[in-house]
Amino acid sequence: MIVEPDTPLDNDAAAQRRVDDIVARGPGGAFTLAGVALAVVMLIWFAFYFLVFVARGGA
């Protein structure tokens, strides 16, 4: 269920300005999260490669 707070009509302009300011800054947080996730996956992949394949003489 979506609950929207009761706001006066004159506050809608201020709320729209806040939303516009947030959107203007761009998706920085999403790119940061994606970068951290990629770094974790790459670290796991390298650890698996070096600890399993290279340790067994596969390289």
At 14-34, the pLDDT tens digits run 888 998 998 898 899 999 999
- Whether residue 6 is contained in a domain is answered as no
- Whether residue 52 is contained in a domain is answered as yes
- Give pLDDT, residue 1: 64
Look up the pTM and report it.
Answer: 0.58
Domain count, the chain: 1
Separation of alpha carbons 26 and 34, rounded Å: 14
The domain of 36 spans 27-59
- What are the φ and ψ backbone dihedral angles of 6, each rounded to 5 degrees? -80, 115
- Give pLDDT, residue 13: 83
Separation of alpha carbons 57 and 45, rounded Å: 17
- Whether residue 10 is contained in a domain is answered as no
